[in-house]
Amino acid sequence: MKALDKLLGGQQNLIGIMLLAVLILVVFPLTLDAFRLNMVGKYLTYAFVAVGLVLCWGYGGILSLGQGVFFGVGGYCMAMFLKLEASDPQSTKIQSTPGIPDFMDWNQITELPWLWQPFHSFTFTVFAVIAVPVLLAFIIGIALFKRRVGDVYFSIVTQAIALILTVLIVGQQGLTGGVNGITDLKTLLGWDLRTDSAKMILYFISAGLLFGCIFIGRFILASKLGRLLMAMRDKEERVRFSGYDVASFKIFVFCVAAAFSAIGGAMFALQVGFMSPSFVGIVPSIEMVIFAAVGGRMSLLGAVYGALLVNYGKTYFSESFPELWLYLMGGLFIAVVMYFPNGLAGLWDSHGRQALAKLLRRKPAPKAEIAPVTPKAETKILETQP
Amino acid sequence: MEPRLIRSKPLLALSLLAAALFSQGVLADNEGLAVTATEVTVGQLHSATGTMAISETGSIQAERLAIEQINASGGILGRQIKVVQEDGASDWPTFAEKAKKLLVNDKVAAVFGCWTSASRKAVLPIFEKENGLLYYPTFYEGLEQSKNVIYTGQEATQQILASLDWIAKTKGAKTFYLVGSDYIWPRTSMKIARKHIENVLHGTVVGEDYYPLGNTQFGSLINKVKLKKPDVVFAAVVGGSNVAFYKQLNAAGVNSSKQTLLTLSVTEDELLGIGGENMAGFYASMKYFQSLDNPNNKAFVEAFKAKYGKDAVIGDVTQAAYLGPWLWKAAVEKAGSFDVDKVVAASPGIELKTAPEGYVKVHENHHLWSKSRIGEVLPNGQFKVIYESDLIEPNPFPKGYQ
Amino acid sequence: MEWLSEFGAIAAMQGFNGLSVFCVLLLMALGLAIIFGQMGVINMAHGEFLTIGAYTTYVCSSLTAHFAPSFQPYYFFFAIALSFLVAGAVGWLVEWAMISRLYKRPLDTLLATWGLSLVMQQTFRSVFGAREVSAEPPAWLMGSVNFTDAIEIPRNGLFMMGLTLLLTATIFLMLYRSRWGLQVRATVQNRLMSRAVGINTRKVDRMTFALGCGVAGVAGAAFTTIGSTGPTAGSQYIVDTFLVVVFGGAQSLFGTIASAFLIAQTQSLSEFFLSGSMAKVLTLSSVILILMLRPQGLFSIKVRK
């Protein structure tokens, strides 16, 4: 019972999770038509990335500007499987080599490359969706954290990695579909993904997996590891002096964030029906950070709200006021960073909770997570003192 | 209840319904489409924002102009065209999303839209599943043919083969250097060009290079060109790279007095950014140039400038986008219905004698018969048309070039 | 033998190309080296300050062509100076309104300035239109200088080289030989102590940021001769620029110069032998690999922590 309580993070957080669950699992499916619901499903796949970012950025202090890489790799793994299923010899018989994906045929590839071979198996694909990005994150993590590459440097290096991967994917178009990406995905093990009912089911699977990720995140944060992460973020040297291997913890949380992003990417490929390098690069990666920042970098649930809200805003404003959209997005971001560093969740903690408590004539509950607003800075100033 | 009554009830309802339908002028086979007695709704799906807005603005304007002109001349089958414009925001999933919205929620009878191959590939499955109709304006790599798409731009062989033949003949070119941005259209185009150069023209390709989209440094490439001294540089560089490429070529002294260059990717739109003086004397292969001298084009250019200002320029894709609504009108009128299947069935063989580019005809494979033209860049940002081919049959899956 | 001399000519031109890529990288990176290296501010909108310079030059060019065509050969100098002032002034405003509140949160400046870059891009689009524009460079900048029959060196490359030299020297002098430079370096090393000895760190920060932005504006003006001017033109340079500064060792101006040189030569050479895309991948990967081995960059100043 205690473990469960720990997992849920007390009564306050239980209510929070319930509210979100009701919103995603009941309110949206009942009020939105199939088209809009599918869009919310797409937003939810971004929420996976945002939840991962809360762990590694909000709590771990590791700002990765390359989460799109993991989202993309996860998505590509899934898309490769779906593409192979869509390119059976029957439906590709007009090609010069039937049975391989259409873009390979256009690039004079006459045999399925070895990299694609294992993706005939669904089991392998599910494994690869998580394993490949985690392995990638592990390598990046080992290389950068063990060498104690600083936080800012880490951000810039991850950004460069996002750029490299984009250029590679675009350049190797016989293998990856190039700029167009892997398109026209139809069925999953014979199940037509393009029908409304399939989209509905995928929506619920996405939501379920997302809650799974939130629970894992909660569990990590509630454990000793979570405390250590926060300690590291605030005073890395002291944690190191206390005998902890700081790099290993950082690598771990970075890998977890990568795995979450990859699941999001795979669900994205399933719901949207294609995968392209435009989700791998620098811009989408930074946008994903925005979701986490707007929702609240210290709140797993806030990140989900952030992803939903920013994306809804993007769709709404780009439909109604396309000219204004970038102003709003940029302005929102500046405002959030400057005035509400803890995002929506921070606002809720400072104002919403009290208002609600007043409404319910109860005493305001103590804050669940105490978030230092400017941890890094103070350390910096202290550190530079001779 | 008497059995007679039961039978007659549905009958009565049916006849009432039919009467209502016919009195409103809604044909039964337009069901599922947003067609009323006075109006038919179409969609427009381009990037009005984001990086592709640079290129797609011209298409949006041209389609609007065509639709306005059609409305002014009485519309289609007695109905005015109403446009629902959606912004793809240079983002491919957004294109897919908006395509679905247009087809499912707005039930549009046709969509004029897309620019890049990536956006077309993203919406294609949706158009095929929802049985929509897309008019796609850009010259592109070919290798595609869909029941639900009419391609109003040239496919790769139309744009490439005639121009290579011309340059081999008039310039005696034997050696070629192929340069492109790194994505599917330049790569496919260069592949076709290479086969044609090697197998038909019996020339040689002395170099082939691809640069990432957005690349801005072409110094090394220019040196390679200087080293290899090809008779012709054959270029398909796009976007911001285009500007850097030609400015640096010119600065390095590679100009038309020393080097013949033929490009597939520079229209009047791109010349605005590059500056005509940086490219003067180079050649571009297109099916349309703003300076084309024929009455159709004069009227088109005049109308375009009257609507969008006297400084507006019209490139190849803009003109192809302008054809979309007119081709659709012709097909709808031939079919006597807005029903997608009937319009598609009526499309092959549709002729447009009023096209600014002269004359086009829809082929069985949904591409257009069109002429290829070579324009020489003038310092003022326009082209001088110096060669015009015969009408070329579209061939999206060219045998021997794959 | 003819082949050999030709080879020599190509080698010379290729070497020059490496140098001009070096100048481009250094021009981009100088402003950032001041802002990021000295102040620790991660300015993701740096590319947009470049764009400000480019558009300023474009406006100068069109005004000249319209009102004073005879001034055309000289307008470029004026445009460069004006670009410096405009970009610097915008930088000053941005520092005042935004950056000054975020010095304590370096990662947050990254996010906030990214928001700023979106707003600036859309502003360019609203004001100048989405299409690319072209500033007409003066005639004397176009074409090339022929040293021999085979060796042709582009004039704008030479001009860029001169400009880079001048700018670098000026910044060097300002940072290491002026009172202001002393104050900047003192502030970087110890903000509290500097304040204690009477340096107005607020003012120093603002001037430094404005200077960095102004330098970006100059780079933008110079780039109109070799590249495109559009709303998103500047953002194409941003990742390369950051890598140059980080690779050099953030706080060392000399490191920035050395790293720009190394990256430029690698890029230029590999482009000669490989396809452009693979050259890019190769260059970026080697930079990252070396960064993993030397996380502090090539030249790092030992700062007491």
User: How many beta carbons lie within 10 A of that of residue A234, not counting itself?
Assistant: 15
Q: Which two tokens stand for residue C59?
A: 């406006």
- Give partners of B (≥3 CB pairs < 8 A): A, C
ipTM, two decimals? 0.84
**Residue C250: which pLDDT band, with cuts at 50, 70 and 90?**
low
pLDDT given at position A365: 47
Q: What is the mean pLDDT of residues A329-357?
A: 81
Give all strands of the β-sheet with B80-87 in edge-to-edge order: B80-87, B39-46, B111-113, B134-136, B149-151
Residue type, B388: E
CA distance B189 to A291: 40
Whether residue C69 is contained in a domain is answered as yes
| Half-sphere exposure at residue A146, Cβ-oriented, CA atoms within 13 angstroms | 8
3-state secondary structure of B370: strand
Segment A127-134 mean pLDDT: 94
- Percentage above 90 pLDDT, chain C: 20
Contact assessment for residue B240 and residue C230, using Cβ atoms and an 8 Å cutoff: yes
Candidates C243, C277, C295; nearest CB to A167: C277
Q: Number of H helices and number of E strands within chain C?
A: 12, 2
Token digits for C283?
A: 């260059």
* φ, ψ (nearest 5 deg) of residue B211: -115, 145
Identify all chain C residues contacting A330, using CB atoms and an 8 Å cutoff.
Answer: 115-120, 122
Q: What is the mean pLDDT of residues C90-99?
A: 92
Residue C300 pLDDT more than 70?
no
Q: Which of the four pLDDT bands, split at 50, 70 and 90, describes residue A210?
A: very high
Share of chain C above pLDDT 70, in %: 95
Does C11 touch chain A if contact means CB atoms closer than 8 Å?
A: no
Contacts of B282 (CB under 8 A, 6+ apart): B246, B256, B260, B261, B262, B263, B266, B376, B377
Q: What is the dihedral of CA B55, B61, B62, B67, to 10 degrees?
A: 150
Instruction: Tell me whether residue C254 is in a domain.
Output: no
- State residue C229's pLDDT score: 82
Nearest Cα neighbor of B62 from B365, B324, B354 is B324
**Contact of C83 with C218, CB cutoff 8 Å:** yes
Rounded to two decimals, the pTM is: 0.84
- Encode pLDDT of B268-278 as tens digits: 988 888 888 88
Looking at residue B61, what is its pLDDT? Answer: 93
Enumerate residues 150 to 189 of chain A having a beta carbon within 8 A of any beta carbon in chain C: 150-153, 155-157, 159-161, 163-164, 167-168, 170-171
3 state SS of B154: coil
Q: In A, residues 34-63, which contact B (CB 8 Å cutoff)?
A: 35, 38-39, 42
* Alpha-carbon span C79 to C71, nearest angstrom: 12
CA A12, CA C143: separation in Å to the nearest integer?
A: 71
Task: Kindly report the nearest CA distance between residue B110 and chain A, in angstroms.
Answer: 19
Is the predicted pLDDT of residue A239 greater than 80, yes or no?
A: yes
User: Two tokens at A312?
Assistant: 């809804």
Question: What whole-number distance in Å separates Cα of residue B213 and Cα of residue B227?
Answer: 24
Rg (CA), chain A: 22
* Residue B66 CB contacts under 8 Å (≥ 6 apart), including other chains: B321, B322, B323, B324, B325, B326
Q: Band of the pLDDT at A50, cuts 50, 70, 90?
A: very high
Residues C32-45, mean pLDDT to the nearest whole number: 84
How many contacts, defined by CB atoms under 8 Å, are there between A and C? 138
Enter the tokens of residue B381.
């940002």
Residue with the bigger pLDDT between C296 and A56: it is A56
CA separation for the pair B269, B273 (Å, rounded): 8
Establish if C166 belongs to a structural domain. Answer: yes
Task: Tell me which residues of chain A, numbers 137 to 156, contact chain C at a CB-CB cutoff of 8 Å.
Answer: 143-144, 147-153, 155-156
Beta strands in C89-234 (DSSP E): 144-146, 152-154
Residue B45 confidence (pLDDT): 94
Amino acid symbol at A192 = D
**Which of C239, C245, C285 to probe by mutation at the A interface, max A CB count within 10 Å?**
C239
Amino acid of residue B65: L
CB atoms within 10 A of CB A150: 15
In this predicted structure, the answer to whether residue C132 has a pLDDT above a threshold of 50 is: yes
Quick check: B255 and B225 in contact, CB under 8 A? Answer: no
According to DSSP, the residues that pair with B392 across neighbouring strands are B370
**pLDDT exceeds 60 at position A38:** yes
Map residue B361 onto helix, strand or coil: strand
Residues of A in contact with C116 (CB under 8 A): 330, 334
| Of the candidates A209, A202, A305, A256, the residue with the CA atom closest to the CA atom of residue A67 | A256
Residues in B closer than 8 angstroms to C227, CB to CB, are 216, 240, 243-244, 247
Task: Name every residue whose Cβ is closer than 8 Å to that of residue A5 and which is 6 or more positions away in sequence.
Answer: none
Sketch out chain B's domains with CATH numbers: 29-154+293-366 (3.40.50.2300), 157-286+374-392 (3.40.50.2300)
CA distance linking residue A283 with residue A14, whole number of Å: 34
The residue ranges of DSSP E strands in chain C, in sequence order, are 144-146, 152-154
**Residue A375 confidence (pLDDT):** 41
pLDDT of B30: 64
pLDDT score at C16: 84
Question: Residue C158's pLDDT band (boundaries 50, 70, 90)?
Answer: confident
Neighbours of chain C (3+ CB pairs under 8 A): A, B
Nearest CA in chain B to A269: B93
Query: What is the helix, strand, coil percentage profile of chain B, to 5?
Result: 45, 20, 35
Question: Hey, which residues 5-34 in chain C have their CB within 8 Å of chain B?
Answer: 6, 10, 13-14, 17-18, 20-21, 24
* Span of A298-302, A313-317, B371-375 with lowest mean pLDDT: A313-317
Phi, psi of B281 (to 5 degrees): 95, -10
Question: How many domains does the structure of chain C reveal?
Answer: 1
Predicted local distance difference test score (pLDDT) of residue B18:
47
Q: State residue B344's pLDDT score.
A: 94
- What lies within 8 Å, CB to CB, of A243 at 6+ separation is none
Distance from CA of B195 to the nearest CA of C (A): 20
Mutation to test the B interface, candidates C3, C4, C7, C17, most B Cβ within 10 Å: C17
Helices of type H across chain A = 2-8, 10-22, 28-31, 34-53, 67-86, 102-106, 122-145, 151-171, 173-176, 196-222, 224-234, 236-241, 246-272, 282-295, 300-320, 325-339, 343-347, 353-360, 375-384
Which amino acid appears at position A135 of this protein? L
Q: Does C298 map to a domain?
A: no
Burial of A288-324, coded b for 16+ CB within 10 Å and e otherwise, reads: bbbbbbbbbbbbbbbbbbbbbbbbeebbebbbeebee
Confidence at residue A6, expressed as pLDDT on a 0 to 100 scale? 57
Average pLDDT of the segment spanning A287-294: 88
Is the pLDDT higher at C82 or at A378? C82
Contact B307, B322 (CB under 8 A): no
Low-confidence ranges of chain B (pLDDT < 50): 1-12, 14-28
Structural domain boundaries, residue C134: 23-237
Q: Any CB–CB contact under 8 A between C108 and chain B? A: no
- Which token pair is C254? 């000399």
The larger pLDDT score, comparing residue C69 to residue A359, is at C69
* C221 within a domain of the structure (yes/no): yes
Q: Is the pLDDT of residue A11 over 70?
A: no
The single residue listed with the structure tokens 């970098």 is: A297
Tell me how far the alpha carbon of residue C158 is from its chain's centroid.
17
pLDDT in tens, A71-89: 999 999 999 999 988 888 8
What local confidence, expressed as pLDDT, does residue C55 receive?
93
Instruction: With cut-offs at 50, 70 and 90, classify the pLDDT of residue A378.
Output: very low
C297 in a domain, yes or no?
no
Is position C275 within any domain? no
Cα–Cα dist A248/A114, whole Å: 33
Q: Name the residue among C6, C21, C131 with its Cβ closest to that of B217.
A: C21
C8 found inside a domain? no
Q: Which tokens belong to A220?
A: 């990590």
User: How are beta strands B283-286 and B368-377 bridged, if at all?
Assistant: antiparallel
